Amino acid sequence: MRLSLLNRSIIYVVLIFVFILVAYPIAWMVISALKTNAEILAYPLSLPSRLNFGNFSAAWIEGKFGAYFFNSVFITLTSLTGIIFFSLLASYALARLDFPGRRIFTYLWLLGLMIPPHVVLIPSFKIMVFLNLIDNPLSLIFTYVGSTSMAVLIMRAFFATLPRDLEDAARIDGCSELGIFWKIALPLAKPAIGVIAIFYFVFLWNEFLFPLIYLRDERFFTVTLGLMNFRGQYRIDYALMFAALTIAAVPPIIGYLIFQKNFIKGLTAGALKF
């Protein structure tokens, strides 16, 4: 009993410590977003003397962060739709269909996980220049939709766990291969799709490297690029920057809170199986 109590105490202490590490920067960011620049510089760890909600409207309108926000929403949701669509088809084929070289194709597809994005940065840029897609959101969408290795890894592992009896029964009833995928496999794959959606949404929303390389026109900036505009040559508007950071942090947090059950269930269901 004493050992069990000690174990629980250690777990609680570790959890509280981790919670403080995660929650403190977020709380400091939100509190700083409600301060003036003078308060942030003079008393960075104090509470605001009064709540300056005007920082959010100033960042949204004057700082043009609203335009950057909607650019990120469009690019992220469009890319996410393409990633889920193509990864579902590819992973189902690799997991359930028998064709020559299936295992080789699987390992070649997953080889993308071994290649850092920086390695393909220059070739990707030259391809976009050739296609005349620089300063075009399509350059980011095409690049992101091509990065399906992790999604295929998760979905293939999930589809591999589905019992063959379901497919055999559907075939006896005259269901086609596409019908089996659409009516049987896809509904069962919702938890794994939730994992992909959350993982890639956070990744795409926070991605900085490719927007920095592809986008030069401020009209197409994403939130990660837009944050740089709050840093001038001689001064930084910390109040508006923290307000913009708070706005940018809202969608991933809300998305995770809504889909966290599917996220945990999908991680459990998508145990790796080759």
Return the closest-CA partner of residue 239 out of 24, 5, 39, 27. 39
pLDDT at 262 over 70: no
Average pLDDT over residues 109-126: 84
pLDDT tens profile 39-73: 888 888 888 888 888 899 999 998 889 999 999 99
pLDDT confidence tier of residue 205, bands split at 50, 70 and 90: very high
Share of the chain above pLDDT 70, in %: 93
**Alpha-carbon distance values, 50 to 31, 53, 55 (Å):** 11, 9, 12
Average pLDDT over residues 75-92: 93
pLDDT confidence tier of residue 268, bands split at 50, 70 and 90: low
Longest dimension (CA), the chain: 75
> Is 62-269 assigned to CATH 1.10.10.10?
no
Q: What is the distance between the alpha carbons of residues 76 and 190, in angstroms, rounded to a whole number?
A: 20
Q: 131: how many CB neighbours lie within 10 A of its CB?
A: 12
What pLDDT does 273 receive? 45
pLDDT at 263 over 60: yes
pLDDT confidence tier of residue 265, bands split at 50, 70 and 90: low
pLDDT at 99 over 70: yes
106 within 8 A of 156, measured Cβ to Cβ: yes
pLDDT at 258 over 90: no
At a CB cut-off of 8 Å and minimum separation 6, what does 137 contact? 71, 74, 75, 220
Share of the chain above pLDDT 90, in %: 36
Average pLDDT over residues 103-129: 84
Q: What is the distance between the alpha carbons of residues 42 and 44, in angstroms, rounded to a whole number?
A: 6
pLDDT confidence tier of residue 221, bands split at 50, 70 and 90: very high
pLDDT at 2 over 80: no
The ranges assigned to domains in the chain are 62-269
